[in-house]
A = this chain, B = another copy of it.
């Protein structure tokens, strides 16, 4: 009953998502000892969330090199790197025969106008365009089959995960009055802003506070539009910074094409997510809270329908570092190797 194990490597294991990923891989039953790699710009250890105990279990990373990957016979490379780094490394990794799950925004977008916000300047634009075309947007509940065969998986943004999963069932069922416009008022914990110290992430700036930012201009809007087939004018997105370390709650407002019942809306969600282990649909009037999905790979979805049967409020929650990043990356790897989606994530 011994199973073949695959070899994985994580580049960027000192960031928040990278650290979570290293932890998940360390206890994944199908994965051997993961290679933890760092770019030169990174230090060797992560302060903050990272335990660096004296007698064991520490996350020691080594400098990145293709030789190291080859020597360890790595099968899957996880990139928890800034998008411009992923933009360079992912193609080379694929050409060297590795399968890649990229946690940055580098490969999530097909449409050029959406990519503009990232300001990529690719050395070989043709090659980049080719890889962009073949990259698969790694949302298992939408693109499971394509992920299974992908060489390069673009792991979704954390906000995007919470919004797309909440809207896809209703949009696919053509229940939404798209012209009326959809609004997502989203709130995220601070780890979503990354580990770089700044005035904005200083404890005193965040504690006892709430602030909106990037109104009408957040980078995750592009991938939401593309995956849901929406036009820019049909979707309004306002992210807020919550005084908590992790977790996202999106409150989504839309109007239904036709008046519906609560039962009908619930059925729409349940049918869409039947058999999907990592989405939980809440029975009304229960609503998700950030705590419920924290430290898990669940996306929790609930809703409330107005008496008029038209105005719908959908609420979805994810842990931004798990279903919104590292957990989803593992879920994608599971699909890529034909394993159960739950493997290593319970």
Contacts and interface: CB of A to CB of B under 8 A. Distances in A.
A48 B198 CA distance: 10
A102 to B, nearest CB: 23
A117 interface: no
A287 to B, nearest CB: 6
A200 B245 contact: no
Contacts of A311: 181, 216, 236
B304 A247 contact: no
A56 to B, nearest CB: 7
Contact of A280 (B56, B199, B287): B56
Contacts of A247: 208-210
A93 B131 CA distance: 65
Contacts of A200: 47
Interface in A49-72: 49, 51-57
Given A51-B291, A209-B247, 8 more contacts: A48-B199, A187-B210, A187-B240, A197-B199, A202-B202, A212-B251, A216-B304, A253-B253
Interface of A: 1, 16, 27, 47-49, 51-57, 180-181, 183, 185, 187, 190-191, 195, 197-213, 215-216, 233, 236, 238, 240, 242-247, 249, 251, 253, 255, 270, 280-283, 286-287, 289-295, 298, 300, 302, 304, 306-308, 311, 313, 315, 346
4 A-B pairs with least C-beta separation: A54-B283, A51-B292, A197-B197, A211-B289
